[in-house]
Structure 1
Amino acid sequence: MSSNIIAKQEIYKSLKLCNFCTRKIGFSFIDEKSISFVPKVLSLVLFFGSTLILFLKLAGQMDYAINKLVTSASVVEFVAGLHIIGYDTMSFGKLLTIWYKKDIFRNLINELADLWPTSSHDKDSVEIKQKKLSSLRIGQFSYAFWNILGLWLYNLTPVVIYVYRKIQGAPAQLGYIWHLSYPFDKTQPVYHELSFVFEICGGMVSVWAMLGSDILFMTMASHISMLLQLLQLKIRHLGTLEYDRHNDQYKCKDCYRDIISVIKIHQKLIMYGNNLEDAFSVVNLINVLLSSVDICCVVFNILLDPWMAMSNKFFLGAALTQVGILCWYADDIFTSSSGVANAVYESSWYQNNIRCQRALLVMMQRSQKPLYFTALKFSSITMSTYSSILINSYSYFTLLYTVYRSD
């Protein structure tokens, strides 16, 4: 089996959970493209159906929020569903973006196979690879767990409240999952059930779109970070000493070709990272803009709505995890690419000839401009961005809570 096939198998395995989510909304980045008519039509129907459901859900939520803003003076009623509106807006934007750029992402995944390490001879390289893949699997599972568990807590909360009130002998009526406006009377028997089913489907589509986009990002970012760390390992091994029998002494072997090979790998990783940044820049902008508002609104609702407190707490965990993952993996690439310059300095450059030293110096100068993801070129994303989002969320919350207390 060729190394390219092995590389693709390992990459596809790391994207298994992402592929599971994107299949639910009608497309895939790693499945073979179908040439028959029926599967193509079914995929398009599933995608456009998912897009329509999510669009209608988002439109209904916005209409509800605007009506409350106009007709009600209550801050609580207006803010009640804003965090869900923010989540669905991010999901809708991500759904359209990853579908529009699905061929770009497919090409990036295939190109990654050319850089993927498949050798098992170097124990240090294998250890780095296994450690990164293991932490990636844990991150994928944790993120999916928060989102899916939070979704089903929202879905089941109206049912639990209904059953609880029935047991207590109090008047009970099955409520709704989200705060939506409908063009019909949703309290009527048939419309009530249809609305409840629609809200379940809308929540599921929103979560699948969010997971598909974010797991793809964290997977690709983790792989680039791993390749940069392996590159650092190769650089540190440059310029090893060898024994000269004629002069009975150790001397540094000429490693100019090895240096050129490492430089070419570094250039490919830079180009690959820039292409990935361009593909995700719109999605990253949506994340950075809306995350602070989402966190602020859900914390406010946790304080004021005891019935939905548990569901909102899981939503808060998902929101914090979601933006934390974005900043963590973006910061990981920034740190790994910056570490290339340190690796050059820690190599045996001083034992090499002038030609090798000049090549290493050029590489060091280039690596001092590290790779980083941006929010549509407006600002770079690192862990400092995460702290800024949390600070902004707290500022919005204190302002909102002050307005509420003054009413």
Structure 2
Amino acid sequence: MNELKLKHTADYEWAVKLNRFSLSAICLWPAEEQDIRKQFWIKLRTMTYFLLITFVCTIPCLYALIKECDTLMEVTDNLAYSIPLTITVIKFIIVSSKKEVLLPIVNMIAEDWAKLKTDFEKRVMIRRARMARTINIFGYILVCILIWLLMVFPRFGITIRYITNVTDIKKLLPLPTYYMYDVSETPYFEIMYIIQSTSLLVATFCYTGIDNFFGVVILHICGQLENLRFHLSNMKESQTSNQILAATVEDHIRLIRAINVIENTSTLLVLALLINFGTCACIYGLLLITVPAGKEEFSVIRVVYLICNFANTFLQTFLYFMAGQMLVTQSERVHDAVYECEWVNLKSRKAKNLIIIMARSKKPLHLTAGKLFPVTLLTFCNNSFDYLTKVK
């Protein structure tokens, strides 16, 4: 990313640094590398991370689902891991192949913060940045708790997985996996434990970082649409009104193009995330019900893990749909601002230029989940109600 004086507010720095750290660690942050040697090493690291997530975590989890899970509780417990891992692989493939497309958007955000702004524009951008920062920090706190429960506690004989009387707790890996070779003997078990924990950490960065990245980008664009609406509402006849109107039209087109890029990149991600949320709501609901019902040994650690995991899944999904709702609302307000401005006092030649914005803003900007459902709070609430009804 081109560093363009991103020191205007601490809020924006926090929002960007958290995402940049998590995605740069797994080579998914959109950045332009001129050095051919660096490009080679980044591609090599990207392939390594992909192989770790796929062949150390995801495929062994799915294989264990077929090979070892015989009861409903074993199948349900395995799905709580294998489904998010499958979604993570899909996210990794899509974002790693779209980094060059997303790079102009990252640079656009940096340029927006580097421009001279009025007090109103600064307040709007800071408000969006604070919202993104709060959601990101809360999400990473949940992730840190989950990583600690998954990677550290099993080494002390404390597991959060569904276990039977014949299960050796001291020989449990962080994930319910099945390998073609025996990994229960020393030192193979310790080596596989370290490799699986590393792969799990990479998968966590991918799962959380990508959602937070798109959330920050969409919230920033919502702030720019609000600033654009402010310019239109306060437009008056002057010598520079034509230049202001031309700049406003260019900004509007620029934001529309950015949303189209995000839509084409994230539409499958949102659909997968929506399916993941609905499935996990049923799975975690069933697992939580079995604990007080006495169908398995009560474990406070397991309950905490299930609650944190569901809260993290809910937060990641809600971030998309909240940002999508704000995008629709702000784009509609831009359309209303064209009619509310003092266009009757403008000269006819200048007033005709507003037709461009009227035509482009007539259809509100919105994101979709797989080109099927609009990403709005109404869609999220309807699906959440349906899934909760099924759980009951």
How far 1:319 moved relative to its partner? Answer: 0.5
Hey, what's the Cα distance between the residues in 2 that align with 1:40 and 1:238?
47
- 2:26 corresponds in structure 1 to 25
Report the CA distance between 1:54 and its aligned residue: 0.9
For the pair 1:329 / 2:323, whether they are aligned, the reply is: yes
- Structure 1 counterpart of 2:85, one-letter code: D
Of 289, 295, 306, the match for 1:303: 289
How much identity, in percent, do the aligned residues show? 17
Aligned counterparts of 1:266 and 1:107: Cα–Cα separation in 2: 16
Paired residue for 1:130? 126
Deviations 1:296-341 (A, max 9, x none): 2122222225332111111011001010111111222111111101
Larger deviation, residues 270-279 vs 92-101: 270-279
Alpha-carbon separation, structure 1, partners of 2:158 and 2:4: 54
- Whether the 8 Å CA contact 1:90–1:287 is kept in 2: the answer is yes
Note if contact 2:8-2:113 (Cα within 8 Å) is conserved in structure 1. Answer: no
Matched residue type, 2:192: S
AA aligned opposite 1:236: S
Structure 1 or 2, whichever has the larger Rg, is 1
Other-structure match for 2:165: none
Residue type of the alignment partner of 2:200: G
Partner of 1:219: 216
> Secondary structure of 2:138's match?
helix
1:219-268, CA deviations, whole angstroms, 9 ceiling, x for partnerless residues? Answer: 2111111110110110111026xxxxxxxxxxx87834433332222122
How far did 1:278 drift? 1.2
CA contact (8 A) 1:277 1:374 kept: yes
Q: Does 2:107 correspond to 1:110?
A: yes
**Between Structure 1 and Structure 2, how many residues are aligned?**
372
2: CA distance, partners of 1:177 / 1:216: 27
AA matched with 1:146: L
Normalised TM-score (structure 1): 0.82
Change (3 A) 1:314 1:352: same
* Compared CA separation, residues 172 and 142, structure 1 to 2 (3 A): closer
The one-letter code of the counterpart of 1:63 is Y
Matches within 5 A, 1:123-202: 123-162=119-158, 173-202=170-199
Please report how far the alpha carbon of residue 152 of structure 1 lies from its aligned counterpart in structure 2 after TM superposition: 1.6
What is the TM-score with the length of structure 2 in the denominator? 0.85
Aligned counterpart, 1:405: none
Of 84, 88, 104, 1:87 maps to 84
- 5+ long unaligned stretches in structure 2: 160-167, 292-297
Structure 2 counterpart of 1:277, from 263, 272, 294: 263
What's the counterpart of residue 163 of structure 2? none
Shift of 1:112: 4.2
Pairwise mapping of residues 7-406 of structure 1 onto structure 2 (< 5 A)? 14-30=15-31, 33=33, 35=35, 37=37, 39-56=38-55, 57-68=57-68, 72=70, 74-113=71-110, 115-116=112-113, 118-120=115-117, 122-162=118-158, 173-239=170-236, 255-305=241-291, 306-307=298-299, 308-398=302-392
Please report the RMSD computed on the Cα atoms of aligned residues, expressed in angstroms: 2.8
Q: Specify the SS of the correspondent of 1:124.
A: helix
CA contact under 8 A between 2:129 and 2:216: conserved in structure 1?
no
Does structure 2 retain, via aligned residues, the 8 Å contact 1:291–1:319? yes
Partner of 2:294: none
Structure 1 alignment gaps of length 5 or more: 164-170, 241-251, 399-407
Tell me if the contact between 1:231 and 1:262 (Cα under 8 Å) persists in the aligned partners: yes
In structure 2, C-alpha distance between the alignment counterparts of 1:40 and 1:365, rounded to whole Å: 42
More divergent stretch after superposition (289-298 vs 150-159): 150-159
| Residue 28 (structure 1) shift | 3.2
Cα deviation 1:132-186 (Å, max 9, x = unaligned): 22222222212222222222222233235459xxxxxxx9735332211111233
**Equivalent AA in structure 1 for residue 35 of structure 2:** I
Maintained 8 Å contact 1:344/1:364: yes
Question: Following TM superposition, by how much is the alpha carbon of 1:379 offset from its aligned partner in structure 2, in angstroms?
Answer: 2.0
Cα distance change of structure 1 residues 33 and 154 upon mapping to structure 2, 3 Å threshold: same
Q: Describe the superposition over 1:90-118 as per-residue Cα deviations: whole angstroms up to 9, x where unpaired.
A: 11111111111111111322244555562
Q: Secondary structure at the match of 1:5?
A: coil
SS in 1 for 2:373: coil
Q: 1:34 to 1:153 in 2, by over 3 A?
A: farther
TM-fit CA distance, 1:200: 1.3
Cα 1:254/1:103, change in 2 over 3 Å: closer
Q: Counterparts of 2:65 and 2:360 in 1: how far apart (Å)?
A: 50
Further displaced range: 273-282 or 315-324: 273-282
Say whether the 8 Å CA contact 1:18–1:216 is kept in structure 2.
Answer: yes
Tell me how far apart the structure 2 counterparts of residues 365 and 202 of structure 1 sit (CA, whole Å).
49
Distance 1:220 1:187, change over 3 A: same
Are 1:341 and 1:367, in contact at CA under 8 Å, matched by a contact in 2?
A: yes
User: In 1, are the aligned partners of 2:321 and 2:380 still within 8 Å (CA)?
Assistant: yes
CA contact (8 A) 1:221 1:333 kept: yes
Task: Go from structure 1 to structure 2 and tell me whether the alpha carbon gap of 1:172 and 1:325 turns closer, same or farther (over 3 Å shift).
Answer: closer
Distance (whole Å) between structure 2 residues aligned to residue 192 and residue 380 of structure 1? 46
CA distance 1:394–1:67, shift in 2 (3 Å): farther
